[in-house]
Chains A and B, each alone.
Chain A
């Protein structure tokens, strides 16, 4: 056919705008809110202030607060100015200006003296800032919470707050993504949670909670869209519950040793790892430290005790370090030691040289309370080892009260075997240990009537003359170092003490190795200790006496065996000078090579991980389980939501597939409990989705009975249901045509206008129709059998309308319509928001966590 000439358009008829254009309009109009930059600035500032209140948990005082708040305020102010003043706003440089302002603020706070004119940074300013920061880092180690606000801390917090304020302000004001900003707030919240969880009180939590919610709500504060805000509040509360609840649920113990061990990571000089295969090299005789003691000179000065043996190496079994187990506050009573006897109270004064810089505080066993050391010296209650939490011994002068074990032989003889459960590690024998070792032990101790006698016999076995002291490790003859030593009968204290310890263990006596220094060289009233004095010795545990030292090493720095280790029961108190004279130096420890050091660090790390759960025992296990279960439940609960979002992205990933997008829209409606009637047309459903449907008409949507059809016939008759007052509108179907006085009115007007010679006036009259009447009008027009104007008149410029236009044209007009990604996003957002605003709160929640469309899938 030929439609040879297009009809001329003599009047300015309404040419419907292309749908795509109105769609993009919708996107922009939705986003272009009035410049409420100031409100957002206030919100951000308030949120940051609340966060600062939360962070104040870490500090004793509030001196740090003023610089932080001033910096934050400055940044926010600059942002607000740049976002509200039109000229600056169009420049889009708000964030850059904020960065500059933040920089100035940081310099003013951190490097005041170096600035030109009080605010222009000079070359030295940068160095000053770096200095302040590193001061802050060292303060971090030096202080226990609650901390004083040192310049270093103030600098760190000012920088952190300023940076995060810039980010959050940008997110809230420019990107309209306050939720991400909320996450950044939680980053700051990690400061008190991580460093001072004990100091966190409820108001800190309330403060951070309020800050978080404030940010979440910020998009809703300007408008009155509180219902959408409720969703944000819910989401925020849920996120916070997870973020706050889990750390609180898990006791602080696991996290703290982590930090302590970090401080311990650079454990350097005295390596508590002993290797049985290593030869003893030459060792320095420079004085490491000097001491004077009220006790017996022969008591070795111990660093720590180690009990974990793998057949070749000794290592400390992992122990947790509680930074609040502060040594100067006093340490617990030594394990197993009776409180009324078998010990002597002594005091040692120690002066450590600057070079001897390591983390174990030397003291004879069993240390009770040091004096003159920092509160960062903390103890392990099992071994009574005192270690520095970031502190080292270099240059330290202190005195230490200690309890020197002085067991009565009778008590030792009557000691009953221990309950093996209590001494897992101290009784553990490596799997690789040859049976010959135990056989030897049994042979040697065949005559023993009790454990003490067995121990005494073991010591006598080593000291009996068969064994020879040598600074060389035994030949590697078999796979096992102990049996090699027993065969070779040559070695130094590490081999002797290891062999005795392990043999004692095979007989059920808990045993470990003490590591430290033996005696030392006598010098003006005290003793000087050098590397040559380093020593290791077995400590055996007897019920009723506690840990008791033995001395199987027949030479080297080792002194005479303690009196209670001699069969006679009478201590031969030998001259301790002997130990000084002992030229061959044996000791194990220090020398360990670089490899050994690495090892120690690794072991240190391991320590923390394996150790973490132990101290809290059953209690902690319960917490962990509760935490795991809660997490699992949360994950389970999140599955529908995750599945739902997968479905959504699958449906919306191809913006050309309009039907798939429509499926997603319908699924959204189902989620919010407003399923679309499949017998309704796209445009009708558009009205349903936009929520502009008059109640009477929407009432008939779902019903299928007679009433519903009457409603449908009634509306089909062209009578606006909301004006049912019109005469005879009860007559359904064709009978109802033209009974609505509303219908007549615009017609009469247009007739009059035609008579007056004007045309196209219907548009004008339509333009006068108020927004409130529009939806009603649209439905009426939609269902009029013979509409007298284009049916897209009066539709809002919503993404939904544009989409319906496109889909309709594609379905019925064979047009190659498609959307772009942003239009699809705008559509889903718009529909979701509209639905959510109208849904009941129950529907709103279930739409998020239990989307109905998963179970009632749109086909």
Chain B
């Protein structure tokens, strides 16, 4: 990968990427994925999705019952990309300043000094984010959306790349606050890990008792490569036809009688970014409706509110129904 360098100013969208760039991204991802899979038995799809989020520059919401490896996934990712990893355990009494940081008065210099909170890291693991008070949860908003934090009028940039991997127990469990709608929308994807398959679970019992799975994980890439990969992914082309298709899907979620609140435009932005990442993973220099369809349930489900209760399975179902209704192309 040493030959790969993409300058930081390469953000114009009109440049063309070639098959070799895509292959490089594929290769990078595949190695990261292999490394992460070594940590998490049989969670390839979730691993893949979190890598898509990483490449698309989005945040991940891991939602599942406790003890299926949510935190492990987040930590594995941090380790593999060789970035700074901070973990925040959200509790009901956690204050916003505990997350973002605080200005302390330095007795010696007679100045206030900013002391960074744990959010200033490449990978931020927000464990059990729905246990925190809404006030604290909302403190994450600016960080996640803007990539920056403002304390006492001072703005501090987050490091690049910056990805929040929040884990969340299902909201009907004890001592949880529903994640505000606005904050959920800031996550690129919501992933459920689910219970492992029997064989995987047997292996898991063996492996995890003998040693810490994270021990085996090694950094297979670095932050700079991730940044380059992100740049490449951003340049995966998305034709007008594809964008029209995405908009049609978004509008369909808004028109659907069974959906109380449809997807925001940001949902479309995220969907397109994820589709580009998936296209790169598939070895294509352009995104197709296949990417959109495969990802839509993971990208849009947590952004809509079904009329019949906020249930993630139901939401994914509704997205599937919307997909079955929207024509892919004018010539279909």
Contact = CB atoms under 8 A, between A and B. Distances in A.
Contacts of A32: none
A809 interface: yes
B178 to A, nearest CB: 18
B290 A791 contact: yes
Given A6-B21, A7-B1, A733-B312, A785 B49 contact: yes
Given A659-B331, A681-B289, A734 B241 contact: no
Contact of A681 (B38, B49, B282, B288): B288
A2 B10 contact: yes
A788 B294 CA distance: 13
Contacts of B48: 784-788
A155 to B, nearest CB: 61
A748 B323 CA distance: 32
Given A659-B331, A716-B294, A1 B30 contact: no
B145 interface: no
Interface string A710-732: 10110011100000001110011
Which of A4, A10, A743, A785 gathers the greatest number of chain B CB atoms within 10 Å? A785
Contacts of A755: 38
Interface in B1-23: 1-7, 9-12, 15, 17-21, 23
B320 interface: yes
B88 to A, nearest CB: 24
A784 B48 CA distance: 9
Contacts, number: 275
A768 interface: no
B44 A733 contact: no
Contacts of A786: 44-45, 47-49, 51-52, 278, 281
B239 A812 contact: yes
B24 to A, nearest CB: 3
B124 interface: no
B7 A13 contact: no
Contact of B190 (A2, A682, A734): A734
A811 B197 CA distance: 39
B45 A784 contact: yes
B331 A788 contact: no
A8 B54 CA distance: 22
Given A3-B21, A716-B293, A732 B316 contact: yes
B315 to A, nearest CB: 8
A710 B320 contact: yes
B30 A7 contact: no
A787 B297 contact: no
Interface in B159-210: 190-200
A751 B42 CA distance: 11
A708 B324 contact: yes
B7 A1 contact: yes
Nearest to B40: A738
Contacts of B293: 681, 716, 783
B12 A785 contact: no
A1 B231 contact: yes
A421 to B, nearest CB: 69
Interface stretch (A72-80, A591-599, A672-680): A672-680
Given A662-B331, A747-B37, A785-B294, A709 B241 contact: no
Given A732-B317, A734-B298, A678 B290 contact: no
A859 B26 CA distance: 37
A8 B281 contact: no
B27 interface: yes
Contact of B43 (A666, A706, A734, A738): A738
B107 interface: no
Contact of A785 (B231, B241, B295): B295
B5 A663 contact: no
B309 to A, nearest CB: 15
A1 B238 CA distance: 17
Contacts of B195: 727-728, 739
Contacts of B288: 681-683, 808, 811-812
B325 interface: yes
Contacts of B284: 790-791, 813
Nearest to B16: A3
A754 interface: yes
B283 A790 contact: yes
Interface string A460-487: 0000000000000000000000000000
A738 B193 contact: yes
Interface in A645-692: 659, 662-663, 666, 676-684
A744 interface: yes
Contact of B44 (A1, A677, A747): A747
Q: Is the interface of A mostly helix, strand, loop or mixed?
A: loop
Contacts of A812: 237-239, 241-242, 286-289
Contacts of A728: 194-195
Contacts of B66: none
A791 B283 contact: yes
Given A678-B328, A726-B197, A785-B278, A809 B286 contact: yes
Contact of B199 (A683, A741, A787, A858): A741
A13 B239 contact: no
Contacts of B2: 8
Nearest to A808: B288
A737 interface: yes
A246 to B, nearest CB: 43
User: Which of B17, B192, B242, B295 has the most chain A CB atoms inside 10 A of its CB?
Assistant: B192
Nearest to B47: A786
Interface string A485-506: 0000000000000000000000
A1 B192 contact: no
A738 B318 CA distance: 21
Contacts of B320: 709-710, 712-713, 716, 732-733
A391 to B, nearest CB: 72
A91 B286 CA distance: 47
A734 B323 contact: no
B34 A750 contact: yes
Interface string B310-332: 00110111111101111111111
A685 to B, nearest CB: 9
Interface string B27-39: 1011101110110
Contact of A743 (B20, B45, B278, B287): B45
A185 B27 CA distance: 62
B235 interface: yes
A418 interface: no
A274 interface: no
A700 to B, nearest CB: 9
A816 interface: no
A252 B148 CA distance: 98
Nearest to B51: A786
A808 B237 CA distance: 13
A3 B286 contact: no
Which residue, A4, A684, A737, A789, has most C-beta atoms of chain B within 10 A?
A737
A4 B7 CA distance: 8
Interface string A804-826: 00001101111000000000000
A735 B312 contact: yes
A679 B327 CA distance: 4
B259 to A, nearest CB: 13
B323 A712 contact: yes
B317 A788 contact: no
Given A662-B331, A785-B52, A812-B288, A13 B197 contact: no
17 contacts: A2-B7, A3-B10, A8-B3, A679-B323, A679-B324, A683-B288, A704-B321, A709-B317, A709-B321, A712-B324, A733-B317, A735-B312, A740-B197, A744-B42, A754-B35, A785-B297, A790-B283
Interface of A: 1-11, 13, 15-16, 659, 662-663, 666, 676-684, 704, 706, 708-710, 712-713, 716-718, 726-728, 731-741, 743-744, 747-748, 750-751, 754-755, 762, 782-792, 808-809, 811-814, 858-859
**Cβ-closest 10 pairs across A and B:** A786-B48, A733-B316, A7-B24, A1-B10, A790-B283, A813-B286, A678-B332, A1-B15, A6-B20, A713-B320
